[in-house]
Amino acid sequence: MQIVDTHSHLFTEEFSDDLSEVIERARQAGVSRIYMPNIDASTIESLMCVCRAYEGYCFPMLGLHPTSVGEGFQAELDLLKPLLDKPEHPFVAIGEVGLDLYWDKTFRREQEEALRQQIAWALEYDLPLVIHCREAFDELYNVMCDYRHTSLRGIFHSFTGTTEDTCRLLSFEGFMLGINGVLTFKKSTLPGVLTNVPLERLVLETDSPYLAPVPYRGKRNESAYIQYTLAHLASVYGLSVEEVATITTNNAKKVFEKG
């Protein structure tokens, strides 16, 4: 059985003391690949260090996270963009990008501009887009509608929306929904929402070190814990964990195959 973790930040300081053990536990849990989204210019070095150390197992994305967008966002993007122009660059996606109005709405306009620039990168380099959205669903949907008839593809990361949100996102046929430990939370509405979603439109993720699933909720998350989200998802769909692992792994390959 192979499982793909499509979203994990194992390059952050939370894993600086035991990364090798974390990777080994992931392998033992059946995780065959880990995709790692960048945060901003300051994290490129640590991201690439981990991906070089575990080449063929950990794969880097390039992007500017919306919570890192401020007045100087253009300078950040100008530091990142040349990395895509290097021959045989290693990046398999543009991410993580998006809109986040949960903490602060001050830079709403800048967040949208940064997102549009990075969407342009995804289209220019034919790379999938990994999208973060928090408290900004309508704003994100309005932006995405401008690209509905393009070749844009990717993942709506950490999906926790309503049935209506689901229908609107699934209308973007090149995109999957990323499901993580939130699915296992006692008060999560996701199990009910997912009854209307074809399993062929879902991928698994952890968002490590965040959003650890039950029974590790509230603790540091890691890629090995994806097995608990997998088991819960299998229960929702009434399928075996092996079947769900196979389908979601194939879904991840569809997203990243050109990478």
Domain count, the chain: 1
Task: Print the domain residue range for 106.
Answer: 3-256
pTM over 0.85: yes
CATH number at residue 144: 3.20.20.140
Determine the pLDDT at residue 103: 87
Average pLDDT on 149-156 reads 96
Q: Is the pLDDT of residue 259 over 60?
A: no
Average pLDDT on 211-230 reads 98
Residue 258 binned pLDDT confidence (cut-offs 50, 70, 90): low
b/e per residue 150-179 (b: at least 16 CB within 10 A): eebbbbbbbbbbeeebbebbbebebbbbbb
pLDDT in tens, 110-143: 999 999 999 999 999 999 999 999 999 999 999 9
pLDDT in tens, 42-53: 999 999 999 999
Distance CA 202, CA 28 (A): 23
pLDDT in tens, 71-110: 999 999 999 999 999 989 999 999 999 999 998 899 999 9
DSSP designation for 208:
B
Determine the pLDDT at residue 257: 83
Q: What are the E-state strand segments in 40-121?
A: 58-60, 94-100
